[in-house]
Amino acid sequence: MRLFVQAVILGLLAGGVYALMASGLTLAFGIMRVINVAQGVMIILGAYVSYTLFTHFGVDPFLSVLFVVPVVFVLGVVIELVFIRPLRPSEREELSLLVTWAVALGIEGVLGLVYSTTYRSTIPSYANAAWRIGGFAVLQVQVYAFGLSVVILAVLGVVLAKTRFGRAVRGTVQNPASAALLGVDERKVAAIGFGLSVATAAAAGAVYGVVTPFNPGSHYDLISLLLTIIVLGGMGSLPGTVVAAVLMGVSQALLATYISPTSAKLTFFILLIGILVVRPQGLFGAVERGKL
């Protein structure tokens, strides 16, 4: 039982970070019907920028988020303008897979040239510090990573629910023609929305590098995980993404504890096949437009 509780705690903490990683993917799909398979490489890019700031300038990886987010936001806007906007709306969903995959490979190549393929890790002084709560050991960095993810997701939630821009995003997701008639510039919403979606991934990446060693090819594992999460949650549903991410984190931790860490990587295949058989539209069932 003790082992079980420990695994669940670890899984919840990891699931919070997964939720942040995947939320951007959901946002981009909801607004633009773009399946951004470069989301994984954006996480790795965030991890490298944070790693560089830490090793060269001594910037704490959690503080580096303040730099990573705006830089990758601008990169996201540029990617949207240059690579995604020229796609015809009718073909965007399919072609965005190819285009963003090309972007992912390009960024992976550049990262490989700059940093080589050696695994890196951002290791601050408190990397191995742990708290003991009720007899359970919890790594401080994992709690910080979880806390940061929750804060960023909460800010994203408030922006979407309470602001003029958030209403424009939700309006565009639910009924783009109607939003345009009310004066919403869909292209502007798409550019800013895509920038936000990759910026959240990069923020998650900054903390990912503290928790997990990474190299430029690590995005392959990440994108498989993230795609599973958004399919599991129901494509385009933000609450569904959060629930699926936590479910994924806990399942992985339990498998790693009771079977082996290697088999934990199979978790997403098992969950994906299971959910597609039982509930093909995902947990929150947002198969149609309009659920963000």
The footprint of another protein (CB under 8 A) covers 164, 167-168, 170-171, 174-175, 177-185, 290-292
Note whether 193 and 176 are within 8 A (CB). Answer: no
Task: Report in angstroms how near the CB of residue 85 gets to another protein at its nearest.
Answer: 16
- Which lies closer to another protein via its Cβ, residue 76 or residue 171? 171
Task: Report in angstroms how near the CB of residue 20 gets to another protein at its nearest.
Answer: 23
Task: Report in angstroms how near the CB of residue 287 gets to another protein at its nearest.
Answer: 14
Separation between Cα atoms, residue 84 and residue 92, nearest integer Å: 8
Choose among 201, 245, 220: nearest CA to 24.
Answer: 201
Task: Report in angstroms how near the CB of residue 170 gets to another protein at its nearest.
Answer: 6
Task: Report in angstroms how near the CB of residue 185 gets to another protein at its nearest.
Answer: 6
- Which lies closer to another protein via its Cβ, residue 128 or residue 178? 178
- Which lies closer to another protein via its Cβ, residue 138 or residue 159? 159
- Which lies closer to another protein via its Cβ, residue 56 or residue 164? 164
- Which lies closer to another protein via its Cβ, residue 139 or residue 179? 179
